[in-house]
Structure 1
Amino acid sequence: MNQKFQNWTQIYVQLQKAEQKQALEPNDLEKYALAAYLTGRDSESFQILEKAHQAYLDGKNTHKAVSCAFWLGLMLINAGEKARGGGWMARGQRLLTELGNKDCAEKGFLLVPQALGELSAGRGAIAQQIFERVISAGEKFRNNDLLVLGRLGLAQAMIQQDDYSEGVKLLDEIMIMLETEEIYPLVNGIVYCAAIETCRNVWDMKRAQEWTSALSRWCDLQPDIVPFRGECLVRRAEIFQLHGEWKEALEQIIKACEFLVQHSRVSATAEAFYRQAELHRLTGNMEKAESCYHEAAKRGKNPQPGLALLRLLQGQKEMAETSINNTLQETKDPKKRAELLPAVVKIKTYLKNLTEAAAAEKELSGIAAKLEVPYLQALSRYCNSTVLYAQGNFPPALEHLQKSLKTWNRLNFPYETACARELKGLLYSKLKDKDSSEAELIAAKWIFEQLNAKPDLERLKKTLNKEEKLNTYGLSLRELQVLRLVASGKTNKTLADELFISERTVDRHVSNIFNKLGVSSRVEATAFAFTNNLLSKNPE
């Protein structure tokens, strides 16, 4: 029976009633503990699994007792109880030692925390060797859970050692395994969340979106699951934000914060508050943004670079520069520095510290060249254009910006597109091309209006010095995105996947586009778009 899509609340209630009548068998206790954990009853789950562990020991089934110790340790560690979790892992290891040298799957499982420790310490080569042993154990004992955990860890170890291409190939293979093989539910949730985080850490936003879609489907099929739902909401909100659905993103992230606080998921809660702070900053709600940054910090997440950018908006330039400098100095991991460096470029160019801005841009460019992911490469080119513009090197700045815009267009990221078009407008102005400058600035202004990006909008209005309207024939930002993809010949299913929306929503957008443009087919809509220059106006 496939454990992925069961009603865990129903299972919990059934086993709870059964236990009240008579003592459960150890395997039923395991399932009872799993159902309790997946429905948010953590403490009760730990107690039940301890019973199962002891029952297996009483029955002289040491291997199953070790298995219980492993899962109990893992759940406790995930809940933030590292000492207790580590203690259960140590107990499992001791029991295995008492069994002697006989090989078994449980030995493979107990290699996982050891490998994760090496990975966390930055010793990717050692971690890789251990994860390869985990995979070997999975193959020998035909254990899919070991194979998935081993391959996930191996992918992370490879990526840590800058072998990005091979690492993501493994991640792609793991996604197929999760969709086609029988995998323990805890392993499913752990792998989905870890894969998303891994892709995010190397700025592979396209893969992060695909993994988020997969996690969303998995959670939606099990509406009573608690442990991974908050993380799913956080990542869904981030994808909505990237695709310009800021209202939906804010709704999702507020729901995520409430859910995670209720269920005491500390690290995920910190990330949720940081993402909420970012949305408030971008929409100009400074007070709310500052409050959420502080909530994130209180829960253990460094609120940079967002808080430094907020200080810049508040006019506290020196504070912004000091905090971003200190955070950059304390951060050694290149992938984490990549998250800070665009803010460093923005703050330093604003303060006319162009030498330091250029140094930050150069470092970012080096990291982007190693990772070879489109998002980071486009961000690096945008930062390069920003520095070149500040230095007065306008033609090369425009050349790099065009490449950046091409990527934002392909990824359907409107805010990044608007920022690039604003800079493009400023560059055209310096190159004495008034018409092109106004066209770019007006397009950027329209996107900022659609997003409700108030700080950017206010800044841009000052640049334009007059109100100008972009004729989009009544189409919204999302409808222009859909029209562009329709014109490129993509199916509704492909379009839905790219924009992280349902096919039903795509159908509604296409119908609205037809009504607003007065057409009755995709061919007519495409022709109208080309004839009326709508695709060039399209922010994507």
Structure 2
Amino acid sequence: MAPPPSYAERVPDWPVEYETLSEADRGHDLPAEDLERLAVAAFMLGRDDEVVPLRERAIHDYVADGRRADAVACGFWIGWHLMMRGDLAQAQGWTARLRRLADDDPRLEGMLAQQTAVARMWGGDPAGALPDFERSVAIAARGAETDVLVLALLGRGRCLQLLGRDDECMVVMDEAMTYVSAGRVQPQVAGLLYCAVIDMCMGHFDLARAQEWTRALTAWIDDHDGAVAYRGTCLVHRAEILQLRGAWTEAAERAVEACALLDIRPEPAVAAAHYRVGELARLRGRLDEAEAAYERASELGLEVQPGLALLRLAQGRPDAALAGLDRVLGESSDDPRARPLQLAARVEICLAAGAVGAAEDAAASLAMLSGPEAPPFLCALVEHATGAVLLARGEARDALPRLRRAWTLWRDVDAPYEAARARSLVARACDALGDTDAAVMEADAARAALDRLGAVGEPFGVAGTTVDGPLSPRELEVLRLVATGATNRAIAAELVLSEKTVARHVSNIFGKLALPNRAAATAYAFEHRLV
């Protein structure tokens, strides 16, 4: 069996590679091996409709020359390509055709076992698929068929993930990635593995490794001049990492770029690209834009919770928000991230709706998903939700250490938005305990962080009343000074703040208290004996 094309020493300029081979094939006389190279170039340039016909021609030539093993190997890539496109029926048809071509050749059994395993896994039977993937791994390893081996390892890792065996999954994926990092696999396999390992890392809330592999994928994409394949998916991963890191403007740019690219050349990540656009729009208060993006993601088949529920909350529709979350929490999901994030959102929405008991139940369910070896991101979710519930129950002293731990964990995983939200709750806990100085400093730090991000709306847990009404401690200070007739510049000097920050506080006061102007604010302050 001929070795597959090697790209380890030279990464082609894909447009040039495609044009050169296409020109040589004008008379339809390109050798089978070069037809396979042309098929790879077509795939990398997003010309998916050309891939199968080119490989079919190669198979015809291989069979005519009596090279059945090469024909089966080429047919394996047709099946792989069809499965990647979601054409499972056609892929299974090719599996049956390859079995006839293979004629019980033991060297080819690893490829055939793998295609059977993929069909089983995608059919919802990871336990049944796992032995077939393991058999494919063993056969491919003996035959030194690196591409088949790496794809079998990927399938094995995915089955282990679906079966909840996360530690074993990551060991398998680490092994697979050694071949990718060494440049020992074809580009269509390398791109798939990069995307898969990032997705698995995100599924385990392993943000550091996800960011590391996203950087590697970005560099890999940049090395492949003119390539379209995997570029959109790479942009989606980059957008999610950038959002978590607080680089919202760049994240939004990458998400929009991904939507534009993937709408032209669809990949499974196209729905996730639109969801990311919706998330970033919601966080920045662009609710109509968020609504449209979630609708598009849903149209493309993605579950849009908890983002849509949090949008409904921002729109003042907590009942609709809870209905959507309750529906999705009653269903199963293959995404390990889904349930923790949905439960955390349910805590937030229940607290905003005043349903403290329901929030407590959701926080308890979330805590059950954690454990001693849980990643810091998941631990932060649990501490944040638990602390928020304790605070809502009036148990500020018990809430404070949980909230401080949440803030520390969010800071450690470099998630500034979540850290600011936790810190706003720390401010409320300090205020409830009578430490006004600490409350003011924590609230100002939280709000400054949110302002830097461009966040719009109240952070988690700030909505609602405190002992002094709906205003934060700093807003109360500003209101008292407004009632003395002080200008924004004078208030800024008194409190050592910028005029912009004072103006925002005044605007918040007017909004929260439904006051039209400073005179009304002054009257409110005297009526409520704040001065």
2:269 maps to which residue?
268
Query: Residues 112-154 of structure 1: CA distance to partner in whole angstroms, max 9, x if unpaired?
Result: 2332344345544333322221211122001221222222222
Match of 2:452 in 1: 450
Residue 14 of structure 1: CA displacement?
0.6
Looking at structure 2, the residues matched to 144 and 181 of structure 1 have their Cα atoms a distance apart, in angstroms, of 11
Q: Distance in 1 between matches of 2:86 and 2:156?
A: 24
Q: Does 1:300 align with 2:301?
A: yes
Q: Which residue of 2 aligns with 1:103?
A: 106
> 1 CA distance for matches of 2:421 and 2:435?
19
2:96 alignment partner, one of 90, 106, 113: 90
Aligned residues of 2:79 and 2:115 also touching (Cα < 8 A): no
Q: Which runs of 5+ in 2 are unaligned?
A: 1-5, 464-469, 479-490, 499-531
Question: Could you tell me which residue of structure 2 aligns to residue 169 of structure 1?
Answer: 171
**Which AA in structure 1 matches 2:47?**
R
8 Å Cα contact 1:442/1:468 also seen in 2: no
| Shift in Å, 1:164 | 2.1
Instruction: Mark the CA change 1:333 to 1:389 in structure 2 (over 3 Å): closer, same or farther.
Output: farther
Q: 1:77 to 1:161 in 2, by over 3 A?
A: closer
Q: Secondary structure at the match of 2:457?
A: helix
* Distance 1:456-1:224 versus aligned 2 partners, 3 A rule: farther
Tell me, yes or no, if structure 1 residue 60 matches structure 2 residue 63. no
Structure 2 CA distance for partners of 1:439 and 1:259, relative to 1, 3 Å: same
Tell me which residue corresponds to 1:418.
420
State whether residues 237 and 250 of structure 1, in contact with CA within 8 Å, keep that contact through their aligned partners in structure 2.
Answer: yes
Aligned ranges 1:319-398 → 2 under 5 Å: 319-331=320-332, 335=336, 336-369=338-371, 372-398=374-400
Change (3 A) 1:402 1:468: farther
Q: Partner residue of 2:52? A: 46
**Matched residue, 1:200:** 202
Report deviation, 1:182. Answer: 1.3
CA displacement at 1:181 relative to structure 2: 4.2
What amino acid maps onto 2:106 in structure 1?
D
How big is each residue's C-alpha offset from its partner over 1:222-271, in whole Å with a ceiling of 9 and x where there is no partner?
A: 13111200000011111111111100001111110001001133x31111
Tell me the equivalent position of 2:7: 2
SS in 1 for 2:302: coil
Residues in 2 aligned to 1:468 and 1:146: alpha-carbon distance in whole angstroms: 66
- Return the offset for 1:440: 0.9
Aligned-partner SS, 1:342: helix
Distance 2:57 2:496 in 1: 68
For 2:471 and 2:171, the matched residues in 1 are separated by 48
> Residue by residue, what CA displacement relative to the aligned partner does 1:47-77 show, whole Å, maximum 9, x if unpaired?
1112112221222222221222221122122
Aligned-pair CA distance for 1:333: 5.4
Per-residue CA shift, 1:154-197, capped at 9, x if unaligned?
A: 22233333332232233233333211141111111111111111
Cross-structure match for 1:29: 35
Query: The residue matched to 1:23 in structure 2 has which SS?
Result: coil
Q: 1:140 aligns with which of 139, 142, 145?
A: 142
Per-residue deviation, 1:383 = 1.0
Tell me the secondary structure at the aligned position of residue 454 of structure 1: coil
Cα pair distance change 1:361/1:94, threshold 3 Å = farther
Stretches of 4+ moved more than 4 A in 1? 457-462, 467-473
Of 199-208 and 255-264, more deviation after overlay is shown by 199-208
For the residue of structure 2 that corresponds to 1:165, the secondary structure is helix
- Following the alignment from structure 2 to structure 1, what is the Cα–Cα distance between the partners of residues 148 and 373? 28
For residues 93-116 of structure 1, the C-alpha deviation after alignment (integer angstroms, 9 at most, x for no partner) is 3322xx12x311x32122223323
Matches of 1:81 and 1:279, distance apart in 2: 32
**Stretch of structure 1 that moved more, 126-135 or 282-291:** 126-135
Relative to structure 2, which stretch is displaced further, 231-240 or 63-72?
63-72
468 and 35 in structure 1: CA distance in 2 versus 1, 3 angstrom threshold: farther
Query: Which moves more between the two structures, 330-339 or 296-305?
Result: 330-339
Q: How far does the alpha carbon of each residue in 1:499-525 deviate from its partner, in whole angstroms, 9 at most, with x for none?
A: xxxxxxxxxxxxxxxxxxxxxxxxxxx
1: CA distance between counterparts of 2:441 and 2:247?
Answer: 24
How far is the alpha carbon of 1:372 from its aligned partner? 1.6
Aligned residues of 1:236 and 1:252 also touching (Cα < 8 A): yes
Matched residues in 2 for 1:130 and 1:22: separation? Answer: 38
**Equivalent residue number for residue 285 of structure 2:** 284
The alignment partner of 1:72 has SS state of helix
Pair 430,261 (structure 1): closer, same or farther in 2 beyond 3 Å: same
Q: 1:334 to 1:182 in 2, by over 3 A?
A: closer
Checking the alignment, whether the CA contact within 8 Å between 2:410 and 2:416 is kept in structure 1 is yes
Q: Which amino acid aligns with 1:43?
A: D
Q: Return the offset for 1:388.
A: 1.4
* Bigger mean CA deviation after superposition, 418-427 or 56-65: 56-65
Q: TM-score, normalised by structure 2?
A: 0.83
| Percent identity of equivalent pairs | 34
Normalized per residue, the structure richer in helix is 1
Asked if the contact 1:137–1:146 (Cα under 8 Å) also holds between the matched residues in 2, the reply is: no
The C-alpha deviation readout for 1:340-395, integer Å capped at 9, x for no partner, is 11111111122222232222212221212276211111111111111111122222
| 1:492 paired residue number | none
Structure 2 partner of 1:218 = 220
Q: Distance in 1 between matches of 2:232 and 2:69?
A: 33
Compare 238-247 and 124-133 and name the one that shifted more. Answer: 124-133
Match of 1:72 in 2: 78
